[in-house]
Amino acid sequence: MTWAYLGSFEEGDGYRVPGTGLIVSQFIPGDAQFYLGNNPANGYTGVVAPGAFPNTLGDMTHGADVSRYNAGQFGTNLGGPGGTAADIADNSGLWKALAGGRLNEDLGAPLYQGNTFRRDYVAAYGYSNARTGSQVLNVLATDEDLHYAYQFDERDFNGIAPSLTGSSLMDLTFWTCPSDYDDAESAHVLGMAIKDSLGQTLMEVGYTGDNFLQYRVGGSGAWQTTSINMGTQGWSMISLQIDTAADTVGLSAAGFDNNTSLLGPTTGLFSGQSIGFAAADLATLEWSVAGMVGFKNYFDDFSFSISPTPVPEPGTALMVLLAGLVRFGRAASRRRMESSLD
């Protein structure tokens, strides 16, 4: 079985940074092959088009794009299969680049004319201020808009198959740290959507360039901007509740305050809000980021809790049925008595 996992983006979760070893290229036909210093003997990286940035500058922290290797599919955390990072055919894993990102970098391969900070990718990043551990997920779009998808797996849901979540309650909590570099932009810059197996958007969360939390419910067109500001000097928490039985969603969040260097109180923004249609099984997370407005969008510590909607046991259902019949019989008897008195 193939396992994938978001988790905390550590090596044990299945995410590689160069400091824990390069990924050897398998020379898979059709893939863009990138190497340190453009020398195949140095191994596969796939960070940007030539692979020369940032690693030839001694930066051992930026991992390969998650759509180029088996990201999330190795490691031992949360019952993982073990193994190690491996080159795969681009977009054949649980992570897929749909637009922008490394697809944009591929357009310039093998020559890259930008600098170390004009990169486009989704990758693990070795970060000393990670919320936990030593790595985070960095979603970076500096040249073009980016759109990536991640497909849920049993490992995310602690052994429950995504195909069995059509009548379930899901709680998703994660942490994010946006950038100061796009603070002048008050419009929407980043969104993360939860989609079902029919491709329907159940819920989206995101933020503006000046880091105010936003949301959309049920694929609605307009982003709703909240008063919660996501500080850039620490980690903010976002918690979603998805009920695929009742077809409702909820949202709560706590923003990091740069002025006090403290996490603010958790605010419940809404709960039990209808998505307006029948939800199917939970399937994917999709990130969309506006290009040329930001430097970094960090994510860490994804935690899922899935509980199937309770279904009455046969004995319980029978008792409910019998109770209903008894009530019906009593009501009918009472009507007959009232009729005979008339």
Residue 190 domain flag: yes
**97, 206: one domain:** no
Return the CATH number at 184. 2.60.120
| Sequential DSSP letters for 38-104 | G-GGG-B--SSTTS-TTGGGT---EEEETTTBTTTSSBSTTT--B----B--TT-SSEEEEESTHHH
**101, 190: one domain:** no
Q: What pLDDT does 76 receive?
A: 94
**129, 15: one domain:** yes
**Residue where a domain terminates, one of 105, 121, 145:** 145
Give the number of domains in the chain. 3
**50, 3: one domain:** yes
Entry pTM: 0.85
List per-residue pLDDT tens for the chain, 342 residues long: 344 578 999 999 999 988 887 777 777 777 766 544 445 454 444 444 333 333 444 567 888 889 988 999 999 998 899 999 988 888 999 999 999 988 887 776 655 555 555 678 899 999 999 999 999 999 988 888 999 999 999 999 989 999 999 999 999 999 999 988 888 889 999 999 999 999 999 999 999 999 999 999 998 889 999 999 999 999 999 999 999 999 999 999 999 999 999 999 999 999 999 999 999 999 999 999 998 766 689 999 999 999 986 554 555 444 444 444 444 454 445 444 455 545
Q: What pLDDT does 59 receive?
A: 64
**192, 269: one domain:** yes
Q: What pLDDT does 45 receive?
A: 46
**Tokens 């510590």 label which residue?**
301
pLDDT tens-digit series, residues 14-62: 999 888 877 777 777 777 665 444 454 544 444 443 333 334 445 678 8
pLDDT tens-digit series, residues 225-267: 999 999 999 999 999 999 999 999 999 999 999 999 999 999 9
Max CA-CA distance within the chain?
101
Residue 100 domain flag: yes
Residue 139 domain flag: yes
Q: What residues are paired with 258 via a beta bridge?
A: none
Residue 294 domain flag: no
Structure token digits, residue 320: 């409910």
Residue 295 domain flag: no
**Residue where a domain terminates, one of 99, 124, 145:** 145
**95, 178: one domain:** no
Q: What residues are paired with 307 via a beta bridge?
A: 169
Q: The domain containing residue 339 runs over which residues?
A: 314-342
CB 166 within 8 A of CB 281: yes
**198, 231: one domain:** yes
**233, 246: one domain:** yes
Which segments within the chain are labelled E, that is strand? 62-65, 95-99, 120-126, 135-141, 146-151, 168-177, 188-196, 201-208, 212-217, 224-229, 236-243, 248-254, 256-257, 262-263, 267-274, 282-289, 298-308
Q: What pLDDT does 326 receive?
A: 45
**101, 181: one domain:** no
**173, 120: one domain:** no
**170, 128: one domain:** no
Residue 292 domain flag: no
Q: What pLDDT does 152 receive?
A: 95
Alpha carbons 134 and 13: distance in angstroms, whole number:
12
Q: CB under 8 Å to 281, separation ≥6 — which residues?
A: 162, 163, 164, 165, 166, 196, 197, 244
Main-chain phi, psi angles of 334, to 5 degrees? -65, -40
